[in-house]
Structure 1
Amino acid sequence: MPVQQIDTAVHREVIQKLSEKLKANYVFPDVAEQICVRLQKQLDNGDYAHLTNGKHFAYTLTKLLQSVNQDEHLWVRWHPDPLPDDEGSLLRNEERIVALREQARLENYGIHKVERLAGNVGCVDIRYFYRPSLGSGETAVSAMNFLTHTNALVIDLRQCRGGNPGMVALISSYFFDGEPTHLNSLYWRDEDFTQQYWTLPYVPGQRYGDKPVYLLTSPTTFSAGEEFAYNLQTRQRATLIGEAAGGAAHPGSPFCLHPHFEAFIPLGKAINPITNDNWEGRGVIPDIAITPEKALSAAYRLALGSIIESIGKPLSHPLAKLLDEAQAALAKIDVHSE
């Protein structure tokens, strides 16, 4: 049976290892020191003595870690089954890698829906930016090629949990011309190294051009989803609609603290080339603030309006037909909002 109960010896072991990992790896050394002082003080005061359930202990530690500077990438998790015991094996563990590949495939590599809405508005629902090496690149390219002939695009990030900056760069590349554009940088404390991410000089298929793009955000929008939104917003390539995103801009790595306890510790921080800042703690702030439930309708209305305006007086039968379709869709939205 999986281990359920823990004691004060486990408390001491986990906190000692957690403090060591924080001091050696956390991207903000001064904050790491503050956290470690608080961890030790609460341990000495016996504040954890009543926590005999591993899951509850991990939750309590996570609340403390995040209370210092609201870093939602900083957490502790309890596992009922033993973790690999060698350093770094959490990243290299073959079972985890196989499971991640299967999860990515079953989630259609994070792209849950691609469709053409009435009025020739494209819509794509991205729930996760899976690493291209997992096989997600082909799916992303197929989605973008499906959308390339729409006149405006809505990208739904309201349920996007995060992902990989390489996939963010790949999809972003469709919204810029062939000249590489600097999207974001990541500074890594452990190597004292800054890694840059740029749009690609070549993409399979056609780029989306300068057609209108609307991004939907919510408090659930997290990490790489926020980076994608922040990158396009700061480059004035998209209009953000919804509520402020989660506020997590510090990528990191898992560490084993104990056979049943894992920590995730941010090793780096995002640095946007336009703002020289990031969205940590405050989230990506939308251009148009509205509840997430109403964000899609609001974006769709704006997209249709832009299409109707761009058509003007139609010069061909296909454009006249599209104008009628867009006007009918807009009227339907207005009726439903009354």
Structure 2
Amino acid sequence: MREDEITQVVTRVADRVTEHYVFPEVSDRIAAALRPDRYPEGIDAAELATRVTEDLQSINGDKHLRLLHSEEPLRDDHGDDEADLAELTAWAARTGGGIGRVERLDDNIALIEITPLFFPPTAAGDPIAAAMTLVAGASALILDVRRCRGGVPETVALFCSYLFGPQPLELGGLYFRAEDRVRQFWTVPHLAGPRFGPDRPIAVLTSATTFSGGEDLAFTLQERGRATVIGETTRGGAHPREAFAVHPHLEVTIPIARSVSPLSGTNWEGVGVRPDIPTPATDALPRATKHLLAALG
């Protein structure tokens, strides 16, 4: 890339961080770390993305702050909500709406794997209802988010709704900088599939790569005492983000909100969700089965 291209990209990234980052008291410090002279002329776009990402995360370690490189040119309608939803819907159609696996294990323990992410409710609602129908008669349930990389909080709330009673329950919230308010997320009283309910034991499997929406599920169920988290400490991303194109092949992702627990006021940003029963991710399933069998007596 030419020097003027680098300057243009870095300046655009810094401006958008200053304008949109959920922590305005930190945004200026992050923007100041992005000096065009740090990146040599002739660097390619992919390497620039790597180096700018390192600098974006150098102030407070926010893993959602990234400059991403795309080999293919970004869509002309990039950032358009309808186009983005259409793309997610097509991805969901290829991946079972985020339901990677439903299985009945021995001893009437059921397993649902959620991967690659919690898609929007319009794409994930029916697959989730179908999965919950298949596990409705199980004595205990394992939720596997070891390969879940994110998703939308509305769908996490929808999924959690199956795991509590019909009475509305506030699960979490998001504080949006632009709105200067907390948007609450509650359980849904009317569901398309059978409710698993609040009493049968649940285990959530996590890994060091579980991120964002997968962490939201684990954190919410753990904090509410509804599930036992088994596996590894998760990656630690609690800030929903928005993407902004800054070059035909580069987009910056910036957290525009932060998760807020109605119980503790905290979230899992930077620290991850710590398991109740630490174990290597590869051993989490047999460990969860053993735990649930003991819970069932």
- TM-score category (smaller protein): over 0.9
**Contact kept in structure 2, 1:51 and 1:57, CA below 8 Å:** no
Letter of the structure 2 residue corresponding to residue 35 of structure 1 = I
Task: Name the counterpart of 2:108.
Answer: 120
**Contact kept in structure 1, 2:88 and 2:119, CA below 8 Å:** no
1:167 CA drift (Å):
0.8
Work out the CA distance in 1 between the residues paired with 2:84 and 2:129. Answer: 26
Task: Name the counterpart of 1:12.
Answer: 7
Once the two structures are superposed, residues 5-49 of structure 1 have per-residue CA deviations (whole angstroms, 9 ceiling, x without a partner) of x11111110111111111110001122111111113xx2xx3211
Question: Between Structure 1 and Structure 2, whose CA radius of gyration is higher?
Answer: 1
1:174 CA drift (Å):
1.0
Q: Any stretches of 5+ residues in structure 1 without a counterpart?
A: 1-5, 310-338
1:100 CA drift (Å):
2.5
Letter of the structure 2 residue corresponding to residue 149 of structure 1 = G
1:84 CA drift (Å):
4.8
Task: Name the counterpart of 2:61.
Answer: 70
Q: Quick one: structure 1 residues 205 and 102, their matched pair in 2 at CA, closer, same or farther if it must change by over 3 Å?
A: closer
Task: Name the counterpart of 2:43.
Answer: 52
Work out the CA distance in 1 between the residues paired with 2:166 and 2:63. Answer: 35
TM-score (structure 2 length as normaliser) = 0.95
Q: Quick one: structure 1 residues 54 and 182, their matched pair in 2 at CA, closer, same or farther if it must change by over 3 Å?
A: same
Letter of the structure 2 residue corresponding to residue 263 of structure 1 = V
Q: Name which of 191, 201, 213 aligns with 2:202.
A: 213
Task: Name the counterpart of 2:261.
Answer: 272
Moved more, 298-307 or 180-189: 298-307
SS of alignment partner, residue 119 of structure 1 = helix
Once the two structures are superposed, residues 104-124 of structure 1 have per-residue CA deviations (whole angstroms, 9 ceiling, x without a partner) of 111101111101111000111
Once the two structures are superposed, residues 173-212 of structure 1 have per-residue CA deviations (whole angstroms, 9 ceiling, x without a partner) of 1111111111110011012121100001122333212100
Work out the CA distance in 1 between the residues paired with 2:147 and 2:72. Answer: 29
Q: Quick one: structure 1 residues 93 and 195, their matched pair in 2 at CA, closer, same or farther if it must change by over 3 Å?
A: closer
Task: Name the counterpart of 1:21.
Answer: 16
**Contact kept in structure 1, 2:203 and 2:229, CA below 8 Å:** yes
Q: Quick one: structure 1 residues 205 and 107, their matched pair in 2 at CA, closer, same or farther if it must change by over 3 Å?
A: closer
Work out the CA distance in 2 between the residues paired with 1:237 and 1:84. Answer: 42
SS of alignment partner, residue 196 of structure 1 = strand
SS of alignment partner, residue 299 of structure 1 = helix
Supply the RMSD in Å over aligned alpha carbons. Answer: 1.5
Q: Does 1:109 align with 2:109?
A: no
Work out the CA distance in 2 between the residues paired with 1:80 and 1:239. Answer: 41
Task: Name the counterpart of 1:234.
Answer: 223
**Contact kept in structure 2, 1:219 and 1:243, CA below 8 Å:** yes
Q: Does 1:34 align with 2:29?
A: yes
Work out the CA distance in 2 between the residues paired with 1:83 and 1:295. Answer: 38
**Contact kept in structure 2, 1:242 and 1:288, CA below 8 Å:** yes
Q: Does 1:61 align with 2:88?
A: no
Work out the CA distance in 2 between the residues paired with 1:144 and 1:301. Answer: 22
1:50 CA drift (Å):
4.6
Q: Name which of 136, 149, 156 aligns with 1:161.
A: 149
SS of alignment partner, residue 255 of structure 1 = strand
SS of alignment partner, residue 258 of structure 2 = strand
Letter of the structure 1 residue corresponding to residue 239 of structure 2 = H
Work out the CA distance in 1 between the residues paired with 2:151 and 2:72. Answer: 25
**Contact kept in structure 2, 1:84 and 1:93, CA below 8 Å:** no
**Contact kept in structure 2, 1:62 and 1:75, CA below 8 Å:** yes
**Contact kept in structure 1, 2:65 and 2:254, CA below 8 Å:** yes
Q: Which one has the bigger helix percentage?
A: 1
1:67 CA drift (Å):
1.8
Q: Does 1:186 align with 2:174?
A: yes
1:297-312 maps to which residues of 2 (within 5 A)?
A: 297-307=286-296, 309=297
SS of alignment partner, residue 285 of structure 1 = coil
**Contact kept in structure 1, 2:53 and 2:66, CA below 8 Å:** yes
Task: Name the counterpart of 1:79.
Answer: 70
Give me the identity figure in percent. 38
TM-score (structure 1 length as normaliser) = 0.84
**Contact kept in structure 1, 2:129 and 2:194, CA below 8 Å:** no
Work out the CA distance in 1 between the residues paired with 2:68 and 2:258. Answer: 22
Q: Any stretches of 5+ residues in structure 2 without a counterpart?
A: none
